[in-house]
Structure 1
Amino acid sequence: MATPNAQGVYEFDLELAYTFSMYSPSNNTPMVYDVNSQKWLRINSTLDSLCNSSSVVTGNLDYALQDINQFSGLHVRMIAINGKIPGDVIVVPLGAEVIMRFKNRMETKSLSIHVHGLNKKGLWYTDGAAFIQQCPICPNSEYSYRFIADTAGTHFYHGHLSTEFGEGIIGGFVVKNLNRKTPDIKGNLLRPSREYYALIQDIGILGIEDQWEVAISRFDKYGKQLNDEWDLSNKSNCWSHARIYDGTPLAYLSPVSALLIGSKGWYSQKDLRKTPSRVPLTTYLIKKGENVRFRFVNAGVGHVIMLWLEQHKLTIVAADGIDIIPIQVDSLVIFPGERYDILIQGLTAPKQKNYRFIFETLERYDYSYQPIEKTIGLANLQYEGSTLKDTDIVDFAHKDCTPADKCKNADPLYVDKEIIQQKVFRSGYEEYFVNIDHDEGINGNLFEMPQGMPYYYYGHEDEILVPCNSTICNKKNGEHCRCFTQFNFTYGNIVQLTLYMSKDANLIAGGKSHPFHMHGTHFYVMKMVYPQGYTKDGLLNSTNTDIPCYGTTCYGLKFKNSSWLNGNVDGMNKNPSFRDTIIIPMGGYVVIRFRADNPGWWFAHCHFLIHHIKGMAFAFRIGEHSQIPKPPVGFPHSCGIYEQPPLKAGSTTRKSGHPTTRRPTTRSSTKKPCRAPPPGCPGGPYGMFPREGCPPPCPSPSSHSSESYGSSERWPRPPWCYGRNAWKYRCSHTKRGHHHS
């Protein structure tokens, strides 16, 4: 656990900079690892000669390798946090005041940072959703997040502007409740003797920048080439063509190069399957009979991961940071954004030195429904001090799996009984139905980021965003509207969201299940319903009919049984899971509830990276504007639009609701005309602000006009007030009922 400063604050300075994997700064050379000889080799500094025996790293190997980011074992440009990929795990106690200072040294890339799992109660503007809660952190600038670690459990931090959490900007974040002990499967309280934090990531064959180009610029064309043979020299073929066990496809992703566990993975599936003992894997130590806690996080871009451990049971004790009634399982499926805490008890008589954690994707078929091999990743659970030999035999067939209990729920230890009632609510309750579609976003709209923080544009939001009910939203060639999808929840109300994907057409289009994440709140999973129709081979062939849809669009639907409305949904869980990330099954739906008790502007989205960027997201506001906590004085927020005023005095047209400089109004011809403003003053030519200040304004025939030189604004004003956006927020004046300073 970290140590606080003299004021009791936990401070972390985090520098973000480009680096290369498999590169050693201390040796000033790229590195390679030879699996056959198990030797680490320096590449000649001239970069044009082959590795040879003279390049073998000798001496203290641990020291020589400590500054190498192994990543997938390939040489890839990535982003390091204080030189590491991923960044160090941050561990603080519950209730700690935390400062995370990020120094952007990437030269060409802006970003923001989100701590996934913290509710940030009362501090919505520290949550890190770019343009909604803050301006992006520009290159060569620094930005600090100051907040309270208000949510105990296993979390992680990652970039939240575009592709950052697939490029290395990621790290663990653990909040410990020091007064809590962990129950084992029998309900006995215990404190594990040690614990490990394990990030799981899927890494594509392409570099992240190439994936971005393929995904955004040519998405439709490449996505349709479903059965082409791989040709890595042609980006049009660099997509994953796999289907999972129920026949629905994976998210559009680059084929996996490696699964990373912690900071290590390996690009060669052959090496992992044939000679795992020779591959440099992440290794976790355990003693005979010892209880160890593992904190597993799927921090990947889009792949769903199934986790196994040879000859050991997994006891799940927490989900998304929330303690649950312990349950024992053979394996665990983790979607991106989900976290699980698992207890593992060491064997009393182990028969081998290393037992393998097996991480595998859910790939089962190609697009023609022909069986294919899964992508796997491995890590070692090693018995400390063991003299037993390692082995290359791995239980990929999972022979110890027991089919008796196919699926188990994560039931929390405590629930808010008022929220989870099944009844018809008469007051203090809101209900929404949200269609989530892999191609059509939220209720048929693709989310478009605003060009500024909505909080600061209250009352004139149309200056920075396109509302989804606006006629401005033009649809061309069947495209869906790109607009700012938004919900407003009343402070203190119980909110129920029914998130569904019941569209029959989705089965043909290749719809897929999605991990859905809400910022700023945890929610109860009241009901999860899967499709009703499967073939004898387990392939999905029809959707659930509780929310029936028989057309090409399925927006604005409700339950077929109207008695289920207003909170009276049949078949809800009596002891529901309490999560911040949940799966919406393809062809089914999920009902979630939470209390809207955290006022502010928040974000919700699919946690598949490509879908988040593509528009499967929405913003939501809890509370009225007057109920939302105000950001501190000086909070940077003018981040989206700037248009320089004219260099010379003269009238210009008003565009998009942004203020423009107008020619000063003159008096009647019988009176002396107003003197032209000098350089540097409103309405005058561009120039330095005059030392003696600007002259008093001329009387204005329209006293309500605050944008002309003849207004009643205070003079003199400093020169930095004259930028079109800057003057609205940095100068003390009243505009549209809001006072800014």
Structure 2
Amino acid sequence: MPFCLQNTIVLLVAIATCALGQLAFDHNVIPSCSPDEEVCEFDWTIRHSQTMIVFDKDDIVQPHPLIYTNGSLFIRLGCDEYEEATQEEIQRTITAEGRHKMIYVINGQFPGPPVVVYEGQQVVVRVKNELLNEGVTIHWHGQYQRGTPWMDGVDMVGQCPISPGQSFVYRFIAEPAGTHWYHSHLGVQRTEGIAGPLIVLPRPTNKTDNHEPIENEFMVLTQDWYSFSSVELLYLFNWDLRRYSFGLDDERCFISSEKQKTDLGFSGFMLFESGLINSRGHHYPVFGDVPKLPLLPYETFVVESNKTYRFRVINTANAFTLFISVDQHQLEVISTDGHDVEGVKTDFIGTTPGERVDFLLRTNQKPGNYWFRVEANGAGKVKGILRYDSVDAGIPDSERKICSVERDDCVVVNCMNKVFPPHFNLKCVALHEMKADKRLDKREVPKYTDDGSFVEIMLSNRYKTQSTIAVINGKSFVKPSSPLQTYPDIDKVTESCNKTDLRCVDEVCFCTQIIKVKLGTTVQFVLVAPGPFVNEPILGLQHPIHIHGHDFHVLKVAYSNYNTSSGISLGMNEDIECETHVWCDQPKWKNSSWGGDNIPGLNLVDPPLKDTVLLPRHGYTVIRMRADNPGFWFMHCHIEIHQVTGMALILQVGDVDEMPPTPKDFPTCGNYNFPQEEFEEIIKKPKKRPSDVNNKVLKGGSPIVNDKIVISGVQSAPGCAHLEEGGKTTTVYILTLFALITTCIVFGVCLAYQTVDKKRLMNRFDKYALSVKYNTIGCDDKEKLVTSSISDPPPSYLTFRRI
């Protein structure tokens, strides 16, 4: 290929890439369409990208790495050429926490582009998959999908994955209003880019003035972040190698903190490397307060004094419960999972993966810069900045609130533990203790009846840390081989849990667990969270449980049996009886008279509505819902590793003939077996293609029409020819002319590019002559460039502190 033509093609590819290149995430809530529009449409392209890569929007040249060295951020232009990055270049770069890592982007964005629509609008999203070798699906977390269950976006439950190069159009009605989000529901893609906010605004005529005027609304997507890809992280667990989470060749080992007590909960079963707020983050070595790369940008929320702001927080994490606080500012929780509650003033807000919480912040403090903190149960943290607009941007020196009797106890909403040692000075507000705002949502709790339309189902959610298998009632979920919402023969595409030859290992059976309930049934789930072994209270994890297509009332959250003086768990809540002292896969009430409404501590008057709920370790949670949305709905733990390793099931609401019919030509997929008999028949008697019947071809390439060879004729005019077929003449004048025009355009673009590139290089030369901004790093600097990537060795165990 000629050099000029090759450069032209590279240029055109660069232009296309830059058109969808990295874009800064706008955290302001701005409607995507006006409320008068019936349909709100979006076009997405999903592809790979990488953190710490700068896309030059001015010159439209190849992207360059962004590197951190000598206390500054540089753009690497060549092997020995570096240019200090401008603030504008840094701000439009996906920096994460400073390491280069392959990620997914939607239209060049991470997090994905906001979808801000009005309740009742039809949402249309055209998704083009330009990943090289992965399928993808999009789940619209929190949306009912009434009448469109095959738009829910769960692979092999609602739809087939969108293959590379293919596109798929999602179309559904935005319902209910509130803070929601979307994310990939295939494998472990969601925590590395395929996720974004989905805000459904109430219609202007439906708004209720239940709060003071709100100056602005911010979207806050928080998550944990790892140097390993999510797939690598998953297999470290599957292969029981998570102790090498610092790196397979790193001398440090991660020791699980399940046995350790912390102030807000337990740090969990995996390393917290770092976190992100709207894709901005830092790595804090040895759990200190000084980040490793201080000049990386912080996500910053700019506010005015004496105003009220609404923050819509979405926990998109892989695994960690994250606690939100803002130094020297009190927060007021007003909504959970898109459903309004009566305001609860608090200091810390707990969010588990998948949960959303909206809070009000009043800017009544001295103007300045304050830390916006996101903390992971004592295992790590990430910070943003709340900046008053009357002061210059700067690094805050504010302090986290100290909880003491002298300064008042701290209030924690949605806490992991109910009981804390007295000297922690913490007060917990459990989910069921919050009250639904009846002015906005007048839905009553579904009533208990004894006519068969009420069922109570107890589900034990357990993670076997030794074998890395997640189970519900002793069953680890196996995906169907074809999406159930396309209505195949269920017995042929699932591993039935009723099979006599079911595959079981160590008391765990692998099958497609389906719970079927009649349409209109009131279902009360009692969700239980035992540890891997009932008689070992030091082990165990909390789980965020999410149900698709429905929401539910949270009637009770019951925590572990605690030592009231130390706050340490003594084991399973004593209300629950397990079948043995080892397993608890078939739990039941210890008091056999309990059930329905007859469970002490239920809030049957005004409990909050949610679609994702905390299930505390060694405790249980009671939720109640009306199964009124026909379809096959996924129910699972929203910790990504738990879900993909089996803590899931399918809730079938109604019979297939009560479910919406699949759209015409909806894509299907599944297992295929090429029968030996059919194979032998085909190779013995090859079938003629339809085009071969009347159009035979000789080895030389001349066609035979009606068994007569037609010889191609050649015109005398140079450069032009025609072929005669059955007396018809086909000319190629137009094709030749098109080829000549295309060639001229290609070489013209090439010449223009070379001219622009020459001018760009001259400008850089001038800039080098006039400023020290463009430089070549010396030998000493190169040595620092290499050594700067080596972190200070933290200890080989997690450390904890109280507030």
| TM-score interval (norm. to shorter) | 0.7 to 0.9
Whole-angstrom distance in 1 between the partners of 2:401 and 2:78: 40
Which runs of structure 2 are paired with 1:353-368 in the superposition (5 Å)?
353-363=368-378
Whole-angstrom distance in 2 between the partners of 1:381 and 1:575: 34
**In structure 1, what is the equivalent of residue 27 of structure 2?**
none
1:329 to 303, 323, 346: 346
* CA shift in 2, pair 1:272/1:157, >3 Å: farther
**In structure 1, what is the equivalent of residue 165 of structure 2?**
140
Cα distance per residue 1:516-541 (max 9 Å; x no partner)? 00000000111111122326321111
Q: Secondary structure at the match of 2:113?
A: strand
- Could you tell me which amino acid in structure 2 is paired with residue 102 of structure 1? V
1:72 to 80, 88, 97: 97
- Could you tell me which amino acid in structure 2 is paired with residue 156 of structure 1? W
Q: Secondary structure at the match of 1:13?
A: strand
**In structure 1, what is the equivalent of residue 590 of structure 2?**
560
Which runs of structure 2 are paired with 1:608-619 in the superposition (5 Å)?
608-619=639-650
- Could you tell me which amino acid in structure 1 is paired with residue 689 of structure 2? M
* Residues 248 and 510, structure 1, Cα contact 8 Å, conserved in 2: no
The alignment of Structure 1 onto Structure 2 pairs a total of residues equal to 627
Which runs of structure 2 are paired with 1:333-352 in the superposition (5 Å)?
333-347=350-364, 350-351=366-367
When you count helix as a share of all residues, which structure comes out higher? Answer: 2
Whole-angstrom distance in 1 between the partners of 2:251 and 2:113: 34
**In structure 2, what is the equivalent of residue 669 of structure 1?**
none
Whole-angstrom distance in 1 between the partners of 2:444 and 2:146: 21
Is 1:630 the equivalent of 2:656? no
- Could you tell me which amino acid in structure 1 is paired with residue 301 of structure 2? Y
2:217 to 177, 182, 195: 195
Q: How far is the alpha carbon of 1:577 from its aligned partner?
A: 1.4
* CA shift in 2, pair 1:685/1:396, >3 Å: farther
Is 1:383 the equivalent of 2:388? yes
Q: Percent identity?
A: 28
**In structure 2, what is the equivalent of residue 17 of structure 1?**
47
Q: Secondary structure at the match of 2:457?
A: strand
Whole-angstrom distance in 1 between the partners of 2:326 and 2:188: 31
- Could you tell me which amino acid in structure 2 is paired with residue 377 of structure 1? V
Q: How far is the alpha carbon of 1:95 from its aligned partner?
A: 0.6
* Residues 535 and 541, structure 1, Cα contact 8 Å, conserved in 2: no
Whole-angstrom distance in 2 between the partners of 1:203 and 1:28: 24
2:483 to 453, 466, 471: 453
- Could you tell me which amino acid in structure 1 is paired with residue 234 of structure 2? W
Whole-angstrom distance in 2 between the partners of 1:65 and 1:387: 19
Is 1:516 the equivalent of 2:545? yes
1:157 to 162, 182, 187: 182
* RMSD of aligned alpha carbons: 3.1
2:631 to 600, 610, 624: 600
- Could you tell me which amino acid in structure 2 is paired with residue 202 of structure 1? D
Q: How far is the alpha carbon of 1:338 from its aligned partner?
A: 0.7
Which runs of structure 2 are paired with 1:361-440 in the superposition (5 Å)?
361-363=376-378, 374-386=379-391, 390-395=395-400, 397=402, 402-403=409-410, 406-408=427-429, 409-414=433-438, 419-421=445-447, 425-439=450-464, 440=470
Gaps of 5+ in 1: 364-373, 651-662, 664-678, 694-741
Cα distance per residue 1:7-40 (max 9 Å; x no partner)? 7311111111111101012172101245x74x43
Whole-angstrom distance in 2 between the partners of 1:238 and 1:645: 50
* Residues 487 and 619, structure 1, Cα contact 8 Å, conserved in 2: yes
1:258 to 274, 277, 283: 274
* Residues 105 and 112, structure 2, Cα contact 8 Å, conserved in 1: yes
Which runs of structure 2 are paired with 1:694-713 in the superposition (5 Å)?
none
Gaps of 5+ in 2: 1-30, 57-61, 412-425, 465-469, 695-803
Whole-angstrom distance in 2 between the partners of 1:580 and 1:45: 50
**In structure 1, what is the equivalent of residue 9 of structure 2?**
none
- Could you tell me which amino acid in structure 1 is paired with residue 649 of structure 2? F
Q: How far is the alpha carbon of 1:585 from its aligned partner?
A: 1.4
Whole-angstrom distance in 1 between the partners of 2:348 and 2:598: 34
* CA shift in 2, pair 1:385/1:626, >3 Å: same
2:521 to 468, 493, 511: 493
Whole-angstrom distance in 2 between the partners of 1:209 and 1:642: 27
Cα distance per residue 1:119-151 (max 9 Å; x no partner)? 111211100110010001111111111000011
Q: How far is the alpha carbon of 1:178 from its aligned partner?
A: 3.0
**In structure 2, what is the equivalent of residue 28 of structure 1?**
63
Is 1:208 the equivalent of 2:227? no
Which runs of structure 2 are paired with 1:579-594 in the superposition (5 Å)?
579-594=610-625
* CA shift in 2, pair 1:117/1:455, >3 Å: closer
Is 1:537 the equivalent of 2:566? yes
- Could you tell me which amino acid in structure 2 is paired with residue 291 of structure 1? T
* Residues 248 and 540, structure 1, Cα contact 8 Å, conserved in 2: no
Cα distance per residue 1:65-109 (max 9 Å; x no partner)? 354111121111111111111112110011110111111111111
* Residues 222 and 313, structure 2, Cα contact 8 Å, conserved in 1: yes
**In structure 2, what is the equivalent of residue 672 of structure 1?**
none
* Residues 525 and 577, structure 1, Cα contact 8 Å, conserved in 2: yes
* CA shift in 2, pair 1:165/1:350, >3 Å: same
* CA shift in 2, pair 1:511/1:622, >3 Å: same
Q: How far is the alpha carbon of 1:502 from its aligned partner?
A: 4.4
- Could you tell me which amino acid in structure 2 is paired with residue 688 of structure 1? R
Whole-angstrom distance in 2 between the partners of 1:257 and 1:86: 19
* Residues 526 and 622, structure 2, Cα contact 8 Å, conserved in 1: yes
Q: How far is the alpha carbon of 1:307 from its aligned partner?
A: 1.2
